[in-house]
Amino acid sequence: MDKNFIVFETNRLDKFLSLHIDASRNQIEQLIKKGFVSVDGKKTIKTGLKLKENQEIKVNFPEAEISQVKNEDFIKDSLKDKDVKVIYEDEHILVVNKPYNLTVHDAPSVKDATLVDWLKLKNISLSTISGEERHGIVHRLDKGTSGVMVVAKTNEAHLKLSKQLEDKSMGRYYLAIIDLPLKENTIIEKPIARNPNNRLKMAIVENGRYAKSAFNKIALSKNEKYELIAAKLFTGRTHQIRVHISSINRHILGDNLYGFKGELNKINRFYLHAYSLYLYHPITNEKMNFKADIPQDMNNFLIQYFNMENLDEQLDENHIISSFSNFS
């Protein structure tokens, strides 16, 4: 997929492309640095190149591909207890329910197989615009967070979905169980950065990146000690929900990293689940909504402590979404 443009006024190359293609700033930077952009027939890797009037810009988008996988036996063994469920698939996108304890993509510290490894093992064509380790990945979830994710199977789909992330026309609603009920529905706007005293954690830091989250009350436990809440993110910072909820002295059950000290020893992970995803199909522009079933252990806890059998039937997805309608 190639696109050609004529420069009508002076500008930086990266800024010019941001005005003419549906891609995030990071993706535009990667396209340039990886040699997919030409100016007057010559490839350039200078993102800040000063353009002149009447120059011709060509963007040669890389093709999506089925990439070589790691050792197949290693992947199968690593993922044997992690059931990735496909919610929706067509030739452009794949929507999955990611299990907890599964890392989305490779990093130097990652030792096990990842969701990207699983996708490649299934011979799924994936976008390549975000680099080898992140093929197909438009947005991510923490390793310990379960729930709904969309994967781009083509570069065109990836670019358009990334644009939706930026303009907030795509997003998710989360469910979490916390150790102390909220006093009321609330919005938290506090900057987040790496914790200066613990590199494994993020923290509220005065000069950190702007972050905004909304939290709504859903249901109290039978003993009124715990609460099921819904969360919506307006920004996408690492560990954002966990950091913001702990900043008001609430903690997600099982989240020992951010201060949970409850007596529920049987919980071996934190109860945070990306429940609902909304987006516009990157090709047809159809508005779409997807729901990821709540994991069995979290569902069992809600049945035991909240007396909520058949939780997916009782939870009104549209009600959760509409409950955030006054938040902006």
Catalytic residues, which ones? 142
Q: Please check whether residue 132 is in contact with residue 126, taking contact to mean a CB–CB distance below 8 angstroms.
A: no
DSSP-assigned letter for residue 166: H
Supply 151's token pair: 């994967």
SS3 204: strand
C-alpha pair distances (Å), 18 with each of 83, 159, 161: 38, 11, 15
Euclidean distance between CA atoms 75 and 114, whole angstroms: 8
Residue recorded with tokens 């009350």:
217
Q: Please check whether residue 260 is in contact with residue 179, taking contact to mean a CB–CB distance below 8 angstroms.
A: yes
Pairing of strands 37-39, 42-43: antiparallel
SS3 92: coil
Euclidean distance between CA atoms 288 and 87, whole angstroms: 12
Residues 46/29/25/51 CA torsion (nearest 10 deg): 30
AA identity, residue 9: E
